[in-house]
Amino acid sequence: MRFIMLTIFVSGFIGVVTSQSVHGQWWGRGYHSSTAFEANTRGMGALIRDQGEANLLNAQAAGELEQARSQYITNTVDAVQAYYDRRRVREAYYAEKKEQRKGELSRFLERKGSITQISGDDIDSKSGEIRWPALLETKAYADFRVPYEELFMKHHKTGLLTGDEFMKLQNISRAWRKQLAADRKKFDTNQVRNSIRYILGLDKVVAGA
């Protein structure tokens, strides 16, 4: 009988201690979950909160990325538009200058009087290669003839030169004629005069005068 009573007492004591241990979690330092269900609930809440914060950060990052992409596209479009605007202005400027030079050259050629009229026999119809007079074809004038003919052939094939190319051709022509005039005592006077007139005739073809 005493053994049975002792067993009941011990079992009851262990139950009390266990209950106090569980409930004691409410009264210790800091709050702890009192049950497994509450612990699971709190853990799930923290997980949902963290996921929400992650979604917010991802949304903000996506928005910033889209804003940067949109700004990049805008900048690219503006840069392309600015390039074409500058090119149109530049082309208009060169076209105006070319017309001015053509007028000046026409007036100059009129003042010079007699100029060799370039015909189909003087220029190869396909390549634009020039059939030079004997004096102009000599090695002494190769430095003038070669670059002049390259520009002339380009004009013959494409029908135009850029403003810089046209000015380059005119500068070659001017320097070449000046050199011929300086060499007039070395060659027959008529040959030098006809060579100068021939170059002026070629200039007139390029200028469309």
pLDDT of residue 145: 96
Contact present, 126 and 187 (Cβ < 8 Å): no
- Statement: residue 7 has pLDDT above 50: no
Query: Residue ranges of the domains in the chain?
Result: 97-207
SS3 state at 123: strand
Phi-psi region of 31 (alpha: psi -120 to 50; beta: other; left: phi over 0): beta
Angstrom distance (rounded) from CA 1 to CA 15: 22
Instruction: Express each pLDDT in 150-201 by its tens digit.
Output: 999 999 999 889 999 999 999 999 999 999 999 988 999 889 989 999 999 9
Task: From 209, 207, 177, 208, select the one nearest 193 (Cα to Cα).
Answer: 177
Angstrom distance (rounded) from CA 163 to CA 101: 10
CB count within 10 Å of CB 100 equals 10
Three-point CA angle 94, 97, 98, nearest 5°? 85
Cα four-point dihedral sign 57, 59, 63, 65: positive
CB count within 10 Å of CB 173 equals 21
CB count within 10 Å of CB 118 equals 17
* pTM for the predicted model, two decimal places: 0.47
Lowest average pLDDT, out of 18-27, 42-51, 193-202, goes to 18-27
pLDDT of residue 160: 85
Q: Which residues pair with 130 in a beta bridge?
A: 123
Q: At 110, list the tokens.
A: 């009129």
Instruction: Express each pLDDT in 91-142 by its tens digit.
Output: 888 777 766 765 565 555 555 556 778 888 889 888 899 999 999 999 999 9
